[in-house]
A and B are shown apart, each in its own frame.
Chain A
């Protein structure tokens, strides 16, 4: 039971990471109608810059402060150079061009940082454990990730519902031509939204740094799960991204934990473990398939 609660917290933490990735990506889809395979690259850039600065200065916070603008600025730069030319192209062109971006960024990090993964320390002020529920010590760093994710979700909610920029972004998602006609600088808006999206991806990458190995190609493993989240949540919906991210995080984490023991009830132990592991690795995708049969446009489809 204790282990079960711990797994739920782990699932939540993965869900939060996925939310940070998918919130940015779903915004970019929603407003610019563009499919961006290279979103994971900004996650990777965030992680690499944070790991490098943190290891030079010894301060996680400085790493964070350097990596956030690095992710946002590189995102805006790529938007200016490449994406502007892709807005009116079909999805196939966008897929191919952003695939090219992935190849470029992955290889560039290999040239700069080498093939060996970097390791990042958990900041000392977050390296202890807390007993949130008596009897269950849980690493405070992972709790901090959950906390930051919830804060970001709140900030995004306020941004979208309470500010002029948020209003323009929502209007842009609903009808691009109309808000351009009303005199909103849609080019600037695109660049800002892109920067916001890659900033969130960078934040996810920074927080993942101390948990995972920082290596070239790290962005792609989370990218696929992010896509699953967006498909389940409905493209363009932040609310959908939040709910689907938590759902996917929980299913992915609990599947690996529960399925083998569940199957042991019916099957011999060795077979159960093997089949359980296989099923667990597929569980998220099966969830996606089931939801698609039920609702082909995701749980919270956006009109438009």
Chain B
């Protein structure tokens, strides 16, 4: 019904504008409230939101259930970690390149590094589908986890500590508020790209493939290539999130690639609402807030999270975004 549709669109618009205003105003408000810790906490939320949105591209729109997304997240973090480490040690990185603390070099490097590995893993994994695809993405991400644990030169299991955040042109991102806005802009840019992508011809092909791959193939689309490009773009997004997280924590470790980390990002997508792009942002916020609140209350908070998750899966699949906007998820 046209009337209903327009009403929903208004609700969605109100939600999105409120959300954007909230995120824009958070640093000044929290400094007035003297809760400056909130800025760094919400930077973390924005970074995870970026990772969750990129995962939503492949799961929500592509219908590819990847359980290895944290690998690209971690590899992005290590992309920054490697370059910064060699800069600190004044040693050469591979192929005679020097390390650098310049974000304009190391962040694109992290994104390309993640995207390249996503392309390789995607090319292998997308030969399969269904349960096989889930297990293979999981296994490959664990492969990277074990690989990075075995890299003694880069701290192995203990990870790498960065002495400081990267240099980003004239911006001083060692300042938490500046860094917060950098994360916010990164998220908005990636959301914009993703939005354009899923509503383009490319996005329609990918969504069509999710619904009925055989039909799309019969129509003449090389679905494998479309899925692979989608997977690679998502890998690039996760790589950017990883580069930001390395700067946020000033620390990288193989734990970032562990498959339970993939599971957590997946939970964020589910909580927010799959196939909605903006939903995962809400999901990341809800998940990390819930973790913060429950963890302060009991160290055994996961014993509640587990059953909660099962209940959400069984009874509330629309996610927060669907709940708030009344829109049905994709």
Contact = CB atoms under 8 A, between A and B. Distances in A.
Contact of A282 (B131, B147, B303): B147
Contacts of B228: none
A265 B123 CA distance: 33
A235 B132 contact: yes
Interface string A59-88: 000000000000000000000001001100
Contacts, number: 124
Interface in B122-177: 124, 127-128, 130-132, 134-136, 138-140, 142-143, 146-147, 149-153
Contacts of B260: 102, 220
A282 B132 CA distance: 19
Interface stretch (A7-15, A42-50, A127-135, A287-295): A287-295
B317 interface: yes
Contacts of A82: 310
A92 B124 contact: no
A31 B5 CA distance: 43
Contacts of A33: 131
B132 A297 contact: yes
A91 B138 CA distance: 14
Contacts of A95: 65, 67, 134, 266
Nearest to B149: A281
Interface in B262-313: 263, 266-267, 270, 274, 300-303, 305-310, 312-313
Given A107-B300, A107-B306, A297 B149 contact: no
A26 B145 CA distance: 25
Nearest to B259: A224
Contact of A99 (B128, B139, B147, B267): B267
Nearest to A90: B65
A25 to B, nearest CB: 10
Interface residues of B, number: 45
A220 B67 CA distance: 14
Nearest to B120: A289
A110 B302 CA distance: 10
A91 B134 contact: yes
B314 interface: yes
B131 A235 contact: yes
A282 B65 contact: no
Nearest to B142: A224
A73 B67 CA distance: 29
A55 B149 CA distance: 34
A137 interface: no
Contacts of A93: 313-314, 317
B252 interface: no
B59 interface: yes
A197 B124 CA distance: 30
A193 interface: no
Interface in A94-115: 95-97, 99-108, 110-111
Interface of B: 59, 65, 67, 124, 127-128, 130-132, 134-136, 138-140, 142-143, 146-147, 149-153, 259-260, 263, 266-267, 270, 274, 300-303, 305-310, 312-314, 317
A-B pairs, top 7 by smallest CB distance, nearest first, are A104-B306, A100-B309, A285-B143, A103-B306, A107-B303, A281-B146, A107-B302
Given A227-B138, A298-B132, 11 more contacts: A95-B65, A96-B313, A100-B313, A103-B309, A110-B300, A274-B150, A277-B152, A282-B147, A285-B139, A285-B142, A292-B136
10 contacts: A33-B131, A35-B131, A92-B274, A93-B313, A96-B312, A104-B306, A107-B302, A111-B303, A224-B139, A281-B146
